[in-house]
Amino acid sequence: MAQTIYFAAATLDGYIADADDGIDWLTGFEPNYEGTGDEATGSIDEFIENTGALVMGSSTYEFLLDNDYWAYGDRPSWVLTSRELPAIERADIRFHNGPVADIHAEMVKAAGDRNLWVLGGGPVASELADAGLLDELWVTLVPIVLGDGKPLFSKPVERPMRLLGARTMSSGMHELRYALAE
C-alpha cells in the first residue's frame, strides 16, 4: 500500500523556500552520497521512480509553471488551490479546492503500490499531518541559513516522529527520514 511521504529540501533553519518562493539557495548542492555501493546512489531519481502520485499546493505548482519544469511524467498530480490555474499539457494535473483529507484515499489509490509524494508545501504537509495521513517525512538538510522564508511545516506537528535513517552527502547535506507516530 502506498505511503504518504513529504520529501523536501530545507535549510538548517527550516525553510523550503526564501520569502519570495525562491530556491536559489539550493543551487550548487549535489545529492551524491558518500561511500560506495548502494549508499552512493542519488535519492531523488530513486524516490521519483517509487512515486505513483503527487500532491502539492498552488505555490509549488506555480513555481513549476514559472520555471517550465515538470519531471514527474504522467503520474496523477493533485494541486490544492482555490484559483483557476493552467494545466501542464504533458501531465495528469487534477485541481482540488477543499481539504486534502477529502481526496487522500483517491490519491493513495492512484499511487497504486508506489508512494504518494507531498511535493513542497508546508501547508499541505501540515494539513496531512493534522489529519493523521502523513506517514513519513524525508528532509534533506542543506547547510544554508536563510533567516526567513517558507517553513517546512506551516504550523506545529503534534505527532511525534521516530528516526528511520540518516545519510550524509559529500556536499554537506544530510537526508533524514522520519516516521510519524500514530
CATH code where residue 78 lies: 3.40.430.10
SS3 92: strand
Find out whether 43 and 174 touch, Cβ atoms under 8 Å. Answer: no
> What is the per-residue pLDDT for 30?
63
Per-residue model confidence (pLDDT) at position 44: 78
pLDDT value at residue 42: 54
The Cα 57–Cα 80 span in angstroms is 5
Query: What is the predicted pLDDT for the residue at 169?
Result: 82
182/132 Cα distance (integer angstroms): 7
The range of the structural domain enclosing residue 170 comes to: 4-180
Number of compact structural domains in the chain:
1
Task: Calculate the alpha carbon distances from 56 to 45, 77, 99 in Å.
Answer: 18, 8, 12
Rounded Cα distance between 52 and 117, Å, is: 8
pTM: 0.91
**24 is written with which cell numbers?**
536559489
pLDDT means per 10 residues, the chain with 182 residues, are 93 95 82 44 77 96 92 96 94 97 98 95 95 96 96 95 91 92 72
